[in-house]
Chain A
Amino acid sequence: MSQRPRISGRVREREEDTVLASRARWGDSSAFHELYSRYAPRVFSLALGILGDRFAAEDVVQDTFLSAWRHIAAYESAQGSFAVWITHIAHNKTVDILRRRRRGQGHQVPGTVEDLLALLPDPRPGPDQQSETRWASERVREALGRLPASYREVLVLAYFYGYTHQEIARHTGHPLGTVKTWIRQGLEALRGTLEGGGL
């Protein structure tokens, strides 16, 4: 597994990703393999964290990268890094699985946001964690913890528990427009905190 460098290394890494994606677009599977090595652990961990099921998480990795291989020509580095693009694909696939499962189980009302956050995997070091990714994980959790509770709640319900803005509005009793605004402002505040802090 590649270890991703912190802060200054991210710019260089993004430039390398752009070159690799460009090579992959021309059919270079070794370049695509390098992108896989860099980002498949993140995709796997995200899917595992949300779904709690290793087999389903492996399916998400395969579906995500197969989809990326098929559609690599659509990737535009000017519109964002490869990391963001692949994470978005993976998250959508993960949420789709979660929602299909939920449909089969009937409607569930989630617990408090603190309960939900506590259900995510433990950020303390596991045997297979690189210190770099552990550091990033802790930083993001800290940043989430510093957000206003209203922003934190809607972001956690949306991102980690796959609820739509309409479902969140129903669960929390907040107006739909407010939920949409909080999600957007929560993301902007999170980015401001993390990028201001040099993540």
Chain B
Amino acid sequence: MTHAEVRELLGAYAAGAVDAEERREIERHLPQCRECRDAAAELLRAASYLAEAVPERDLPADLWPRLHLMMRREGEPGAFASRGKRGVLVLATLVLLALGGGVAWEGVQIRRLQQEVEATRAILLLEQNVMSRVLPGTTIVELRPTAAAQQARGIAVVRHEDGGSTLVLLVAGLPPVPPPSVYQAWLVKDGARTSAGVVRVGRDGVGILQYRVPQGLHGYQGLGVTREPQGPAEAPRGPRVLGASL
């Protein structure tokens, strides 16, 4: 199906008026086409209003237990499931330790078990959405993996102070790369990429980077991590493995 054919069918797709083959073809096209993806998002929002025309009825109470059982049989969602909560707890701990300052980065991984105790408290703070009160002027962004590294996850913590910004980037699930390859972080502003440095990733796939932006991160639109096959580069040449909008 061509781009024009998909465009013509997006309304029908949103309203559920395409057949199964057309639906599959459109859903194959959408990840590759920003224009169609944006148009589809608008039309799907419109179509979702139609669902509200049907008056809401109470749900049978026993549905959730049955569903929950099926979910448990399936295991945790997503490719990160095997690391699951342990991964996020470690990351959350690192975030707090990093923002607390005075952390010897080299020592962080050695103290992992000890940190997981702290992490339990940290993730609770995150879950209760009180991070902003505990650490004012802090923004947390989750980085999403690309097809080049589907196991990867990342969290970026930005602390704004004294007119500047400090970025702490924590990644997990990145496969080790042989030298001279490195993982490199980039800040995106108006389409231009500025290196934020090399992310040192250990054999366990966990890596960390701290980067100071004296003028602050205002105006930067994105953050990404690439795998650079020739070592640190002045502009990204390798595949993007993680990315987020700022």
Partners in one complex: yes
The answer to whether A187 and B43 touch across the interface, beta carbons within 8 angstroms, is yes
Given contacts A24-B77, A26-B80, A79-B41, contact A120 B48 (CB under 8 A): no
Q: Which chain B residue lies CB-closest to A88? A: B44
The answer to whether B18 and A159 touch across the interface, beta carbons within 8 angstroms, is no
Q: Which chain B residue lies CB-closest to A133? A: B56
Q: Which chain A residue lies CB-closest to B66? A: A62
The digit string for A46-85, where 1 denotes a CB below 8 A from any CB of B, is: 1011100010001001100110011111001011110111
For B, the interface residue count at a CB cutoff of 8 angstroms equals: 60
Given contacts A22-B142, A33-B68, contact A73 B79 (CB under 8 A): yes
A window 99-143: CB within 8 A of B: 120-123, 126, 128-130, 133-134, 136-137, 139-141, 143
- Partner of B58 from A123, A128, A177 at Cβ < 8 Å: A128
The CA-CA distance from A112 to B64 in the complex, in Å, is 38
Shortest Cβ gap from B143 to chain A (Å): 12
Which residues does chain B contribute within 8 Å of A126, judged by CB atoms? 55, 57
The CA-CA distance from A121 to B48 in the complex, in Å, is 17
Given contacts A95-B16, A165-B18, contact A184 B11 (CB under 8 A): yes
Which residues does chain A contribute within 8 Å of B80, judged by CB atoms? 25-27, 73
Shortest Cβ gap from A120 to chain B (Å): 6
Stretch with Cβ within 8 A of A (4 or more), from B81-89, B113-121, B185-193: B81-89
- Partner of A62 from B14, B19, B23, B67 at Cβ < 8 Å: B67
- Partner of B18 from A19, A66, A140, A164 at Cβ < 8 Å: A164
The answer to whether A69 and B50 touch across the interface, beta carbons within 8 angstroms, is no
Which residues does chain B contribute within 8 Å of A29, judged by CB atoms? 68, 71-72
Which residues does chain B contribute within 8 Å of A76, judged by CB atoms? 144
Shortest Cβ gap from A38 to chain B (Å): 11
B window 16-58: CB within 8 A of A: 16-20, 23, 37, 40-58
Q: Which chain B residue lies CB-closest to A80? A: B41
- Partner of B55 from A69, A133, A165 at Cβ < 8 Å: A133
The CA-CA distance from A194 to B74 in the complex, in Å, is 39
The answer to whether A46 and B54 touch across the interface, beta carbons within 8 angstroms, is yes
The CA-CA distance from A81 to B20 in the complex, in Å, is 24
The answer to whether B17 and A163 touch across the interface, beta carbons within 8 angstroms, is yes
Which residues does chain A contribute within 8 Å of B50, judged by CB atoms? 140, 144, 155, 159-160, 190
Which residues does chain A contribute within 8 Å of B88, judged by CB atoms? 26
The answer to whether B49 and A191 touch across the interface, beta carbons within 8 angstroms, is yes
Q: Which chain B residue lies CB-closest to A36? A: B64
- Partner of B11 from A24, A136, A180 at Cβ < 8 Å: A180
B window 81-99: CB within 8 A of A: 81, 84-85, 87-88
A window 23-39: CB within 8 A of B: 23-29, 32-33, 36
Which residues does chain B contribute within 8 Å of A46, judged by CB atoms? 51, 54
Q: Which chain A residue lies CB-closest to B9? A: A180
* Sampled A-B contacts (20; CB under 8 Å): A23-B127, A26-B88, A27-B81, A29-B71, A41-B59, A62-B66, A66-B67, A81-B45, A85-B44, A87-B48, A91-B51, A137-B54, A155-B50, A165-B17, A168-B17, A180-B11, A183-B12, A186-B11, A191-B42, A194-B49
Using A29-B71, A180-B12 as known contacts, list a sample of 20 further A-B pairs with CB atoms less than 8 Å apart, ordered by residue number in A.
A25-B78, A26-B153, A27-B81, A36-B64, A40-B64, A48-B57, A62-B70, A65-B67, A70-B74, A80-B41, A91-B47, A92-B23, A96-B20, A121-B54, A133-B55, A134-B56, A140-B52, A157-B17, A187-B46, A191-B49
On B, residues with C-beta under 8 Å from A are: 8-12, 14-20, 23, 37, 40-60, 63-64, 66-68, 70-72, 74, 76-81, 84-85, 87-88, 127, 129, 142, 144, 153, 245
